[in-house]
Structure 1
């Protein structure tokens, strides 16, 4: 049995990291589904990469043990301050069925252990990491720069369509599959029969890093795959396979399952893979897919919403004037959602935050806090010397404009008036209050307003009372 090294925790080690977005989805799957997934070495390696540092350390300490160990033996390696995070790590591994039963003797899932060992040491002919295509003397393999350009163009097409839809501009339209996914995920929506427009959730999506954005869409794709009755193990296995492939290399489609071959078209639309033509028997993964389970950036020059400056680019003055040092069309389009743009120069955009521009953003479902968060996230380094970072007057005014929009609320219902006597009015009103459907009342004018749900019952009550009074 190997010598186990005790864990050493720094002072802040009890801070629990935010788990990767995919892990809760995996934890919701059945044990049989995960066990099938763990038969693939590439899937085991990819999931291991997504785990928190302590969870990875637990897996590595148990990986090469041939027999289970007592929980007390493992617990003796943990100092008192780290007990809570240690127990949470065991629970998370148990939910993934990597540790079958953390309360009994500790040992890794047999299928996971065998496949993960194979992923680390090599061997096997399953093609879990992809089968490289044979060299083609007639066609040169696409270089990494070309793949990066292709992935960036596809990804920014999606983001640019999101921020430009409904503004009168006509950006390049993504495929119908992408549009359906954006609509289904709630990132875009149709308001009162209008074309698809960005929603509040969509604007929040733009505040995320490209890696988070990509997984947000892929999670929606996984939910959609379940509804389409696609084999979830095949879908996840293909994504994990892509994440372990080598950038700039071509792979064969011959060993892919029917489900995975059907996924090729969708993944081309998202920019995750490149093919010379749809019917090609080979494909190349782009940086978007090879970094799915790593901490490397998924795009060569990415900053939150797109390519462009590697640091903040927005300067906001107390007079609501904005100076954005960017020449990127996507960043300009995002600003146009809540800023009234005045001038455009080769590397500078000038505009103002006005009541009308904020009102337009609010009508599209973007909140005041989201606008302020975007300005803070992309503030210029010179702005970061200020305390507070954004002018308080501007923040307060944006929130006041939102309150101004929200001070009136409308609701459909029925107004009851013209009661014969105060007694009749009170009798019906008391019945409506028992149903909890009264939205407004005025005793001096003998009238009240009720919701749509309560109208049928109140109407029936009045009719019955009238029949009793006039048999």
Structure 2
């Protein structure tokens, strides 16, 4: 799972765990409705938009017609998430569903522009005599955020974050140590994992911990959440009135300044500016361009300029080059990035603008013992890969696609349907930015430590006939909850989350057959 999807799933899990009255109160704010919609999966968004302007309830039997048969797992996950968030409600008979009326009305207003004028904050109409532009806000946000990350990795001669940030790092399990002295705090396994996430995921990790402390801080969690979601909908570079905020939200400004989410010139200033860290809270956009990222981009431009900027899933300009012999070169002088690389790379040489190292079994094992997974390491290397690596990967992918398409056409004798078959095979190819040998070996090194895997779930057995077993096990496989099955012994094992879904399907299916 990508970091982008990871942080969205984590936020959704938090929202799903809230009591229903709290969820209903959240939906009274149009900005919150928009933010929650952005965090949903594509299929969940499809269901919302299909029912949004339809006041009539939708029959459950019609839902299967809205998606293809192979998408049953996506359908199940989407409906389960919408139900947990109480965005959809069933009627008394359990045969129809409809959107939560409060959410429908406020989300409608949000999309049609009918919401209250202050639903997305009150813009300051007067000009700020102290010039604050987007570049200034980006520098402020990156400085605040990199101070936190530098402190976690133990970079020497760096500023110490504020007391509130330190307490949040400790209570969130990212750092540990006796007392509250900064010198006593050491990074934890969870903290190592935190460092390899993208900035959005990191911010939400701290914000969710902040939300967990709202009761101790005597703050209204609905008010706190609404303000966080409003920040995600504000315009970067614009200032907003503090006077339009509630007392809880005003008290949050000091903490959000420490995280770099908002800029306020003084504690008593009547205006505040959201930074890029705040305005991208519910989007897939890069949260900010830190100083180290700016260096990466400059180096990437000097190696080929705009002609080498290609459209790849990774987005940002990177610095890391990896060879098939596991040697790594990183064109960076950022202490933060070097410290993060040192978590899983055996660094050997350091120059003015480059470090050299080797990915070894021992360096990867050290990272694995610290709680970092192979997928996190691979994702980090892909994200920070040099533009030349991305360019070569795209060229290889284009050649594979061209070869497979022409091969299928020639094999079929030039028949029109062969082209469609070729495109089907093309879809199976992926962009391989890193050398496959390196990716496979990192995963194998992790498998050396993960020889046994355990799963929590339920065993289905004692079926009356083979058809009954096949029907249920095939359904469990379709919805993606099947872990293991044995056709001869007529037994299969499903995840704990999927047990209810399979049991309900069995009751409906076999009860109908008996009738």
* TM-score relative to the length of structure 2: 0.65
Q: Deviations over 1:349-407 (max 9, x none)?
A: 235679998898789x4668589657744555289564402695x9989999x99xxxx
Match of 1:335 among 331, 336, 341: 341
Distance 1:159 1:208 in 2: 12
Structure with more helix by fraction: 2
* CA separation of 1:78 and 1:324: change in aligned 2, threshold 3 A: closer
* CA separation of 1:129 and 1:66: change in aligned 2, threshold 3 A: same
Structure 2 residue matching 1:283: 3-state secondary structure: strand
Partner of 1:276: 265
Q: 2:173 aligned with 1:163, yes or no?
A: no
* CA separation of 1:273 and 1:316: change in aligned 2, threshold 3 A: same
Structure 1 residue matching 2:97: 3-state secondary structure: coil
Partners of 2:67 and 2:75 within 8 A in 1: yes
Distance 1:105 1:44 in 2: 23
Q: What does 1:8-157 align with in structure 2 at a 5 Å threshold?
A: 20-101=9-90, 103-125=94-116, 127-136=118-127, 139-157=129-147
Distance 2:32 2:278 in 1: 14
* CA separation of 1:372 and 1:269: change in aligned 2, threshold 3 A: closer
Structure 2 residue matching 1:130: 3-state secondary structure: coil
Partners of 1:376 and 1:390 within 8 A in 2: no
Partner of 2:353: 347
* CA separation of 1:354 and 1:258: change in aligned 2, threshold 3 A: same
Q: What does 1:241-252 align with in structure 2 at a 5 Å threshold?
A: 241-252=230-241
Q: Deviations over 1:73-113 (max 9, x none)?
A: 34433333333422332221111011022734221111111
Structure 2 residue matching 1:107: 3-state secondary structure: strand
* CA separation of 1:47 and 1:92: change in aligned 2, threshold 3 A: same
* CA separation of 1:35 and 1:306: change in aligned 2, threshold 3 A: farther
Partners of 1:147 and 1:287 within 8 A in 2: yes
* CA separation of 1:54 and 1:359: change in aligned 2, threshold 3 A: closer
Distance 1:353 1:73 in 2: 53
Shift of 1:250: 0.4
Partners of 1:131 and 1:251 within 8 A in 2: yes
Shift of 1:204: 1.1
Partners of 2:211 and 2:224 within 8 A in 1: yes
Shift of 1:124: 4.0
Partner of 2:166: 179
Partners of 1:287 and 1:299 within 8 A in 2: yes
Shift of 1:307: 7.1
Distance 1:396 1:30 in 2: 42
Distance 1:56 1:262 in 2: 34
* CA separation of 1:320 and 1:104: change in aligned 2, threshold 3 A: closer
Partners of 1:43 and 1:237 within 8 A in 2: yes
Partners of 1:323 and 1:350 within 8 A in 2: yes
Q: 2:191 aligned with 1:202, yes or no?
A: yes
* CA separation of 1:346 and 1:26: change in aligned 2, threshold 3 A: same
Q: Deviations over 1:143-202 (max 9, x none)?
A: 11111111111111111111126xxx2311111111111111111122899621222211
Distance 1:249 1:373 in 2: 38
Distance 2:355 2:84 in 1: 49
Partners of 1:306 and 1:331 within 8 A in 2: no
Whose radius of gyration is greater, 1 or 2? Answer: 1
Partners of 2:232 and 2:279 within 8 A in 1: yes
Q: In terms of mean alpha carbon deviation, does 292-301 or 152-161 score higher?
A: 292-301
Structure 2 residue matching 1:225: 3-state secondary structure: coil
Partner of 1:308: 296
Partner of 2:330: 324
* CA separation of 1:127 and 1:323: change in aligned 2, threshold 3 A: same
* CA separation of 1:260 and 1:342: change in aligned 2, threshold 3 A: same
* CA separation of 1:39 and 1:372: change in aligned 2, threshold 3 A: closer
* CA separation of 1:318 and 1:132: change in aligned 2, threshold 3 A: closer
Match of 2:249 among 252, 255, 260: 260
* CA separation of 1:228 and 1:306: change in aligned 2, threshold 3 A: farther
Distance 1:399 1:85 in 2: 28
Partners of 2:196 and 2:376 within 8 A in 1: no
Structure 2 residue matching 1:247: 3-state secondary structure: coil
Q: Which runs of 5+ in 1 are unaligned?
A: 1-16, 404-471
Partner of 1:424: none
Size of the aligned set, in residue pairs, is: 379
